[in-house]
Amino acid sequence: MLLKIFIKEWKEKSLIFLLAVIFLLGLILVRFYGRQDLLMYMSGMFVWLFLPFAALMVGSSGFYSEHKDNAWIYLFSRPIKKHTIWLMKYFTQLSVLLAIYLIFFLLFKLIPGMEEIAVALSFTQEESLYSISYSLLFSVAAFSVAFALSILHDKQFIIFLVSILLGVGIIYLLNSFQSFLRSRYFAFQGLKGIQIFLALSFILASILTFTKCDFSQFRKKVFMFSGYLTIFLLTAVLLSAGWTVARWHWRGQDYLMDLQGKNSDAYFRTKKGMYQYREDQDKIIRIEDRSRSNLSSEEDKLVFSRYVRRESGNIRWHSYELWVMNADGSHKKPLISTSSEDFPLRRSYLRGFQISPNAEMVAFITRDYWERKWNVWTINLDGTGLEGNPVSMDDIHDLDLVGWVRGNESLILARLPSTGKPESEKKLVLFDLRDGNMKVLAQGLRRPGRTRISPEGNVVAYVYFDEKSNKEVLALFDLDVFSAVDICRASTVNNFKWSRDGIRIAYLSDGDRLEIYSLEEKEAQSSVTVAIDHENRVEIPFGWIFDDRKIVLLTDRGGNQNLQMFSRELIPEKQIKFPISPVNVQVMVCLNQVALVKILPGPQLWRINLQTENWKKLY
């Protein structure tokens, strides 16, 4: 009995299958006797137009013969359960569509030169409507909707049109709902698996109507189908939203980024949100639930950014927001949004920001989308006093905000030129916030992202390349006397750290030499060679501890990593082993008596009390 149904359905759908075969034979002829661009065009037509159209044609004719011949009584009189009949017809007609796709797939795999076309058609964007795999999924979903509706009416073209209208309407409502969620929750990236859940909603509503309804009463049949469909569609949205949230919390590996310390507090962000570590409480607290945030802290204030996706119809863009809150996460307040009508440069990129040392205002850099013009802004932390000045420099590829100058009237910026320009064009700039005037302090910067201003805001440490000696030079620019002094010349200057009082600066040169320079005595006070496998590391983690009386540094020799403590005179003291092995230390932030260490794999965040040598896993 089931075999007869299978043969009958294939006979009725043979014309559509034959048209697909003819189309594919045409592709073969074009491959050997036609132009490559014509082959690409026809292949795209098959994937993006013919397959969905064929799916709707096959699905909308699902119960056409039963409507046409009024064969419902005969169909239901067979010794087969109603839902079995429905499923048999569904999978038989679906096999026609899958057979077309299988021939298409084998054609492109087996015929030389065709696979490149298939690769060109398979875009990698997650939501691309134009990928072959997405086209198949979309076609199966369209077939399911049309087949489910085919039990309601005997006119195939009406089912065809209603399927399109319902599909377009549901997609529009879902896109509006997803746009609403994206504008408020950055973690929301779209309803996962919604196509599958929507197709299942139509399938279940159709099966229940098919098994329970009297087909002689059209209105009752439509009402019953509509009621079931409404319930299942709402359930589909809830299941998809639940799946989305579950994937967000449990998918793949977590990340840990932007680990930074300030006084006795530290901050970092993960997939789950932004966290604060307090040394006096020895614990972490989640202070912001949006994961993609950068931050700047000063005293008891914290400014952080949010990256928000927005949509208006078919137009999508990204906007940035700046928020301020207390260091404990309380009293959150928005400062600016680049999508706000009140913001002078709407739809701009936010490139960097930093709180002033007196914790009264924040400076930030923007670049507008269209003209690529750069601007430097300041705004008070109470949301008042927004002021901006354009950056009057040409050919800016990127602009880093290094820090505030003492007095809070100027900023230090690092300007990076377009790719291909000589290294001498990488400049260190003093930017006057009052009138926008700029003065170039240094050129030829090496690793400008690591340029640091002293805690007092009066000396800038930076590395530049000296072409004459073919060496890297660590220099200090004194903003009080407006002159620079070179303090180290070596093949490489890997990393440097200011002491909290701003009197000393420690740095690593030639890969394994640790030195300390005193600004008061204007000379290097001490140096030591440390065990570092610097060839495998771009930056060596180290920092000042115990009120600038000691330094702790990561030693690495042959993959054996430890923490080595030095006195201010760089006399080696105790060595601290890690609690797990092997380890891959990525970042270390030193507070006063503790250090926070980011370790892979994981990532994991560990706290080490440098006095008691006690380790604690924080994240």
Contact 13, 58 (CB under 8 A): yes
Strand pairing partners for 506? 497, 516
DSSP structure class, residue 405: P
Is residue 455 within 8 A of residue 468, CB to CB? The reply is no
User: Which residue is listed with tokens 């420690």?
Assistant: 506
pLDDT tens digits for range 411-458: 999 888 866 667 667 889 999 998 889 899 998 888 888 899 999 999
Model confidence at 128, pLDDT cuts 50, 70, 90, reads very low
The number of angstroms, rounded, from the C-alpha of 176 to the middle of its chain's C-alpha atoms is 21
Q: Would you call 404 helix, strand, or coil by DSSP?
A: strand
- pLDDT of residue 319 exceeding 90, the answer is no
Say how far apart CA 92 and CA 43 lie, in whole Å.
26
Contacts of 161 (CB under 8 A, 6+ apart): none
Strands 427-432 and 438-443, sheet pairing: antiparallel
Q: Where are the domains of the chain?
A: 2-249
Taking residue 102's Cβ as centre, other Cβ atoms within 10 Å add up to 11
| Other C-beta atoms lying within 10 Å of the C-beta of residue 307 | 15
User: What would the pLDDT profile of 464-476 be if each residue is shown by its tens digit?
Assistant: 988 888 999 999 9
Confidence class for position 293, pLDDT limits 50, 70, 90: low
Using DSSP, state whether 432 is helix, strand or coil.
strand
How confident is the model over 602-611, as a mean pLDDT?
88
Would you state the structure tokens that stand for residue 148, as one six-digit string? 């489910």
Mean pLDDT of 595-610: 87
Residue 484 and residue 475 in contact, taking contact as beta carbons nearer than 8 Å: yes
pLDDT digits (tens, 9 = 90+) for 375-418: 899 999 988 988 988 888 777 778 889 999 998 899 999 888 86
CA-to-CA separations, 312 to 133, 326, 362, in angstroms, rounded = 27, 33, 30
Contact 496, 452 (CB under 8 A): yes
H-helix or E-strand spanning residue 587: strand 584-590
Sign of the CA dihedral with 27 first, then 29, 31, and 35 last: negative
Cα(534)–Cα(390) distance, integer angstroms: 41
Choose the weakest-confidence range: 278-292, 303-317, 481-495, 582-596.
303-317
Cα–Cα distance between 273 and 504 in angstroms, integer?
35
CB 494 within 8 A of CB 539: yes
Identify whether the C-beta of residue 448 lies closer than 8 Å to the C-beta of residue 462.
yes
Coil, strand or helix at 341: coil
If you average pLDDT over each of 100-104, 457-461, 596-600, which comes out highest?
A: 457-461
Residue carrying structure tokens 């430097």: 376
Give the H/E segment covering residue 210: helix 194-212
Cross-sheet strand order for the sheet of 513-518: 493-498, 504-509, 513-518, 523-529
| Residue 284: count of CB within 10 angstroms of its CB | 18
Q: How many residues does the chain have?
A: 619
CA distance 529 to 512: 6
Tell me which of 117-126, 350-359, 508-517, 599-608 is least confident. Answer: 117-126
* Span 324-352, average pLDDT: 80
Q: Model confidence at 114, in pLDDT bands (50, 70, 90)?
A: low
- Whose CA is closest to 304, among 262, 277, 332? 332
Rank 178-187, 190-199, 315-324, 476-485 by mean pLDDT and report only the highest. Answer: 476-485
Q: Is the pLDDT of residue 245 over 70?
A: no
Provide the pLDDT confidence category of residue 534 given band limits of 50, 70 and 90.
low
What confidence score (pLDDT) does residue 185 get? 47
pLDDT band at residue 503 using 50, 70 and 90 as cut-offs: very high
pTM beyond 0.85, yes or no? no
Tell me the average pLDDT of the chain. Answer: 80
DSSP 8-state secondary structure symbol assigned to residue 532: B
What average pLDDT score do residues 122-150 get? 67
Burial 333-360 (b: 16+ CB within 10 A, else e): eebbbbbeeebebeebbbbbbbbbbebb
State the burial class of residue 434 (Cβ atoms within 10 Å of its Cβ: 0-12, 13-18, 19+): exposed
Q: Are 452 and 434 in contact (CB under 8 A)?
A: no
| 535, burial (CB in 10 Å: exposed 0-12, middle 13-18, buried 19+) | exposed
Per-residue pLDDT tens digits for 193-226: 677 788 888 889 888 888 887 766 778 888 888 8
Letter for the amino acid at 38?
L
Q: Please say if the pLDDT value at position 48 is more than 60.
A: yes
3-state secondary structure of 530: coil
Position 106, amino acid: L
187 has a pLDDT exceeding 60: no
- pLDDT of residue 312 exceeding 60, the answer is no
Q: How far apart are CA 142 and CA 51, in angstroms?
A: 10
